[in-house]
Amino acid sequence: MYKAYKFRLYPTSEQQIALAKSFGSCRWFWNYALNLCQETYKVSGKGLSRSAIGSLLPNLKKEYPWLTDAYSQCLQYVALNLSTAYKNFFEKRAGFPRFKSKHGRQSSSYPSNVKLDGDYLKLPGKVGSIYCKQDRPIEGIIKTVTVSQLPDGKYYASILVDNRQEIPAHKVEGKAVGIDLGLTHFCITSDGSKFDNPRHTKRYARNLKKKQQSLARKQKGSNTRVKARKLVAKVHSKISRAREDFLHKLSRKIVNENQVIAVENLHIKGMVRNRNLASSISDCGWGQFCTMLKYKSEWDGKTYLEVDRFFASSKTCSVCFNKIDSLLLDIRNWTCSKCQTHHDRDINAATNIKNEALRILDLGTRSTANGGNVSQPGKTSVLLDAIPCEVGNPIPL
């Protein structure tokens, strides 16, 4: 089973120059190979294979000697990444490969000859040993290391390891939970727990506005504009890290407490077309949250299931299955006209998602879905303003 660890790097000034040369060489070769693939397709109607792209390097190094500043296998790995990008595009898992810019995230991958020596990450080539801040030990054999530099100037190493363990078999016996995602509350579970939306972008909006206004006043091409741009990038990085921290802790909490996890398969790309809610939806990170739930469930041998997005979870009574015609977004509570049950819109939707998932898994819970209540009477678990918290988690995020 493969796992990835992400650590912060602290390169020296000489190592930063060596990494910048490696980033630039890999970026240039990616753009050169991508352009060549496009031109070849226009002429012959065929693309270039990975071996054909890799075979270009010997002649390119003679023509452009600065390509030798990068470790040779880093450039070979670019050919692998480009062929994989085309494969993902044709299999409709991703968009068409795009050209890389020197202004965004920079990266290069080392597929071999990398090892951890105490607090240092030893890379081949001209980089050498870089101080690496490790917050947990690595278990397994290192396969690939990707060194990246973010726009805020920080360096990170993503280390892919093989721990030689099999993915545990999925089990469905145990507690099941349905999850409804929203904007007022980020996550509502079928047992009544509600987790508030942290609204990370809104929290840092004032600081971000000041930094962006300062950037807009700087003259293009000046050194002060470069500095102001890095300050804006630092705010965006802070927002991203705060969001990831929240999503990691909440997803780990849910996976630890449940055996079957059911969510709704949302069409987020279509939802952000609503210009009134696009910013709020993008700030939530629903897709990233579902991805975390999925792979953490696989690690622990638990079941993750997505219910069809067209399933009327909000408009269906979870007690008698009566379906109403319409339910506006501003209506947060409603009463079933058939059984007179008063519903909280979000909790009712989460309950229906859980029951639909159990029906799909065919666990023999149709009697529960038809009105049975397996919870203890008189107890509710509505955690308003709840903040996910992990204590003593032995499993790496």
Query: Whose structure tokens read 């993902």?
Result: 88
User: Shortest CA distance to 342 belongs to which of 320, 357, 325?
Assistant: 320
From the list 244, 325, 346, 356, the catalytic residue is: 346
Planar angle of CA 252, 254, 260, nearest 5 degrees: 120
From the list 152, 173, 180, 298, the catalytic residue is: 180
Judged by DSSP in three states, 196 sits in strand
Annotated active-site residue 139? The verdict is no
Give the burial class of 350: count Cβ atoms within 10 A of its Cβ; 0-12 exposed, 13-18 middle, 19 or more buried. buried
User: Shortest CA distance to 119 belongs to which of 137, 127, 131, 111?
Assistant: 131
Annotated active-site residue 325? The verdict is no
- Kindly report the number of other CB atoms within 10 A of residue 232's CB atom: 20
What does the alpha-carbon distance between residue 209 and residue 215 come to, in Å, rounded to a whole number?
A: 10
Planar angle of CA 86, 87, 90, nearest 5 degrees: 85
DSSP string, 4-62: EEEEEEE--HHHHHHHHHHHHHHHHHHHHHHHHHHHHHHHHS----HHHHHTTHHHHHH
Helices of type H across the chain: 13-44, 50-54, 57-63, 72-90, 200-203, 205-217, 223-257, 268-271, 278-284, 286-300, 345-361, 366-369
What does the alpha-carbon distance between residue 364 and residue 355 come to, in Å, rounded to a whole number?
A: 11
β-strands 260-264, 194-196 pairing: unpaired
From the list 63, 191, 264, 390, the catalytic residue is: 264
How many alpha carbons fall within 13 Å on the CB side of residue 79? 15
How long a stretch of residues is the chain? 397
The per-type count for the chain, helices as H runs and strands as E runs, is 12, 14
What does the alpha-carbon distance between residue 380 and residue 340 come to, in Å, rounded to a whole number?
A: 20
- What are 259's two structure tokens? 């055996």
* Largest interatomic CA distance in the chain: 80
Annotated active-site residue 180? The verdict is yes
User: Shortest CA distance to 151 belongs to which of 261, 23, 38?
Assistant: 23
What does the alpha-carbon distance between residue 129 and residue 115 come to, in Å, rounded to a whole number?
A: 9
Report the catalytic residues: 180, 264, 346
